[in-house]
Structure formats: structure tokens, C-alpha cells
Structure 1
Amino acid sequence: MWVTWRDAIQEALYGDDGFYRRERPDQHFRTSVHASPSFARALLELTCRVDEALGRPPAIDFVDVGSGDGLLAARVLASAPPDLAVRLRVTAVDLSSRPPGLDERIAWASTPPATAEGLVVANEWLDNIPLDVAEQTPSGPRLVLVDPATGDERVGPAPDAADLDWLERWWPMCAPGCRAEIGRPRDEAWASVLVRLSRGTAVAVDYAHQRDRRPPIGTLTGYRAGSIVPAVPDGTCDITAHVALDACAAAGERAGAVSTTLTTQRDALRDLGIRGGRPPLDLARGDPAGYLRALSLASEEAELITPSGLGGFGWLSQSTTQAEPIHGRSRSTRSAN
């Protein structure tokens, strides 16, 4: 049975017996959320900045899209100062069932709220939005078809006009054999987040690349139990592909964003106070236990901002109000590689 990669991924991940209907992400791969509680503390700091930029409204949203086990939402709520906690509306968005023991103050939903005012975070969400794969042939771009049971591929029909336009603008393939992952569904998914954001900021964090440095054969990958495996869309593994965040940024602007920052996780988290610096040795002499705690925290923070690891992730921040709460609160564009 030959189907497009988009249809195959949709069924493998989100079908009735799909991977994300059965599995928790932390059982198969480690995200920044699980690497360190400092990631949640940084996003709480960003929430506070958004709150200040909006004039401290009576209620402010924190929406975690692709929440998985709800850990990020739970940590942000648990760490919020009292004056913010009483106004904070926390929503975890995921297709899986609500985790047992999750704080009852956290709303659990399968789709983002119809309207939100505050901060929306999509951490490693866009890379799991199903998409098609195209290959350049002597007669032009063609969709790649896949057998979901085996992962075998063959070339199929030409992409439709909208996807051809997307490829021409965002991922032109220069030679036969080159492949591209058609990110238009990610653009649409991200735009659907922005149109729900009446006031505030939305942040997407993900594996990313930009137009001048697209990988010539794509990035489609499988993950299972912490290991990279062949991308076979049979429902037994995660299927992911890096995100063209520059294309998502343009879609967000069409959806109403008035300011855009495209940077790296390293730069974004350093702006939010994550340094990863070793504690002073004097602390070891005066407070050995405190020194060990500080050293552990520094190690966790360093993992979050290491350029060759999590720190190299792309961060796309877009606001629907004039106040931009990070990176000097003004529009800028930086490399997400």
C-alpha cells in the first residue's frame, strides 16, 4: 500500500492506535523540559515579562502545546510567584489522555484554547506535524510515496500547486535526487496558534534550519526508546523532521504577529537568565552541600545551552502586541542553526 508521507505519519502518530495515542514522549526521547527544571523557570521568567508587557491583566494564559506528560505546565504553575499564580490560567494541550496526578488547576485539552492572552509555548511540537516529502527528478519535483509497513519508498505524482509554490519559495531543490520536506502544514499549524492569541507572545522551540542551509536529503528520522531508528511509519516509533522556522515565521506574520525574533535556544535562554556557569569555589569551603547543588544546576543549565545540543535548537518568538518581551523587546532576526 503506497501512500504519501503526510498520510503515513498522520496515521502512525495520531491514528486510533498511533504512537502518540499510546506513548509518552519522555519514554522515547529527552527534551529540554526533562533535561532540567531550569527550562521551566526560564519560561516562567518569560511569562512574567509578557505579563508586565500586557500591563498585568486580571487573568493571563500559559498554554503548553504538545504538552506530553504535562511536566512543563506543572513546573511553571508550581514555581509561579503568588501574585502571578492567582491570575495564571494554565492549559496543557495534547492528544494523549490527562496524566494521573496532574495539578487540578491545569486544564487539559486536545486543541489550544479558542482565544488566549499571555504566553503560548510549542516545545518540539512542530517537528511532529505530518508533512509530505518531495524529490527532485529530471521532470521536476515529485512526491515520495511510502509503504507504511516497511518504509520502502518510490516516486509518485507531482505536488499540488500550493506545495510547489512553497518549495519554490522556501526549499528549492537544485539537482535530481535532492529531497525536501514540504513544511506548509507546519506553517498552517503555527498560524492557527497565532490567530488564537489575542494579546501576547507565542514561542516555538524545535530542531530547525533556514532557507540558505536546508539539508539536501532532508531530515526525516525515527526515534524509539532513546535511539535513532529508521523512519518506518508503522506506529512503533516517533517520526520527526526538522522545521523550516523561517517559513513558520512568515506564516505567523500573515496571521497577525507584529514582531518576530528568530534565534537559538542558547541565546534565548541566556537572555532569560540561564548561564550554566560553575559556582565559585569559595562556596565549596563554606557550604559543601550548597556547592554540590549549585554545581548540579550549572551542569543542567549547560546542557540546555550547549550549541551542539539543545542550545542549537531554533527559537521562534512572535508577539501579537507591540511589546516584544525578549531580546531587547524589539524586532530582530538571527540564525536558528
Structure 2
Amino acid sequence: MDAENEQGTGAWAGDWMSMSPSEAQARLMVLVQGCPLGIFFDDPEDRCVFANEAFCQMMDMTLEEALGDGWTLRVHPEDLPGLLAARAASVAAGEAVFRAEYRFVTPSGRAGWVEEQTRPVFSPDGALWGYVGTVMDITRRKEEEALLQRLNAELSAQVAQDRAEICAHKEQVADLSAALRVLLAQREADREAERRAVVANVQGRILPAVERLLGLDLPPQAQEAAQELVRAVHEAASPLTRRLMDLGLTRAELRVAELVQAGLSIKETAQRLGVAQTTVESHRRSLRRKLGLSRRGSLRAALAALEG
């Protein structure tokens, strides 16, 4: 800053205490009118007695229109009752500063938000002179806050929707898994039923026919082939048969074991094999011994456990 400007600034600033009242008032008015904030003064009854140019431009009204309660015409009708009540409560409580945010609407249709701050002003002897206040346009800030709230609401809604979809997918997966387990169990049951049907057919039809061949007067090679066929049929008929063969059971004992497992009695087993009941009882005793089963234990249950 050059010397001339410094002198000009200093002269303008000067000593306010040495100025005449008219000079001080003139310079104070320059400051008030040049302030970018809306400034107003109210009397002790909280009625407007002055508003600067920024206030009038913001509210789209003349100073004459703003005086008294005229400024309230620009406050949004929904916000005015609450604003007046809050102002009165602040005055009654003797608060040092009153703050409020409210909407305004101009005759041209322009609308926005302002933030008001008002404080009481007292004379040197403590008498209330009135109230001085400022209003600042915060429309942009309010729009940004509204946008942020809307985005947060949309984000929350999207998160809730995504969670709902995830839960729905989890339920679908759980339902599909349960259905798959049921299908697999049914398939296993069907396979077991088919296996039992094959075993029953082998034991009930094929094996007896092959065993009858062994009772015929066959040449040695044919006899050996028939015995091998019986052994193969036994092995294919049931996993139990293969396990029993590992225990060193004879062909006759294997056949008795299969019939016992099928639920045939001693008499029925003897008839099926074409032997005496005492022979069947002998084979059963041998089975018990080789299975390590006591006399009280169930032979059929032991065979079922061995198969499992």
C-alpha cells in the first residue's frame, strides 16, 4: 500500500471518538450498507427500524416494506409461527444470542434458507436499546445437506435391498441344498433297493439252479466250472458274502448264512438246500463260532451288523 493510500485509509478510519456525531453516523452507515450480510436493527419491542441493502436485496423488498413486522411477509408461512415463538422465548430468557434457520419466499417465487443471529444492545446505563441482527443466505448449504440426506437414504435403501436379495439367495440355496439331499438320499435308496432286488434274484433263482448242477453227475471240468460259478455268484450277490468268505466260511456255511439273513428258519433253510435240519444246525453253530458269537446272540443280527 503506498503512502497516499495509507494516509487515505488512516484519514477515513481516523479517531471515531473525535468525529462529530454526523460524521460517525455517516461512516457507520457506509460500513453497514457495504456489508455482504443482511443487517437489521429492531427496537425494544422487537419491531424492525432499519435494514441494510443486503437484507432488502435478499428478501426482495424495500426498507419501507421491511420496517415494523413487514419483514415477516418474506418468511415461509410454515416457518413463521415457530420463528416468532422462538424469538419471544429467547427475549424472555434474556439469551445473549438468538440463532435460527428458516425459509424465505419472495414475490418473484425465489425461495431459500437464511441463518439469523440476533443479540440485544444496551446503553451504557444498562437500558435496552433494541436488537441488532444479521441474516446470511444458506440456501446452497441446505441444498447440499438435502442432497446428502437423499443420497444417504438411497444408499440405505439399496443396502437394505441388497441384503434382502442376499437373504433370498441364501434361502434359495438352502432350499436347493435340502432338495438335493433328498434326491441323493432317494437315489441311494433306489440303488439299494435295486441291489437288494438283484441279490434276491440271484439268491432265489440263479444260485439254487447252479447248486442243482453240482448235484448232477458232471464231468470233472464241468463240476469245477460249476463250483467256480457258484463262488462268483456268491461274491456278486452280497457284500456280506464277500466278508464271510474272508472269514474262511465254506460254501455250505455261506449258503446257510445268506438264508439266515433272508429270514428263513432252520426248517425252511433245510428244505431250500435239500439237507437235514441237523446239518443246518451244525452249519449255524459253525457260523457262530467263526463270528465269535455267543449262544444267546442273534445270528441274524450279527450278520446284519457285519453287512453294515
What range is the shorter-chain TM-score in? Answer: under 0.3
Q: Which structure shows the higher strand fraction?
A: 1
Compare relative contact order (CA 8 Å, sep 6+) and give the higher one, 1 or 2: 1
With normalisation by structure 2, the TM-score equals 0.17
With normalisation by structure 1, the TM-score equals 0.16
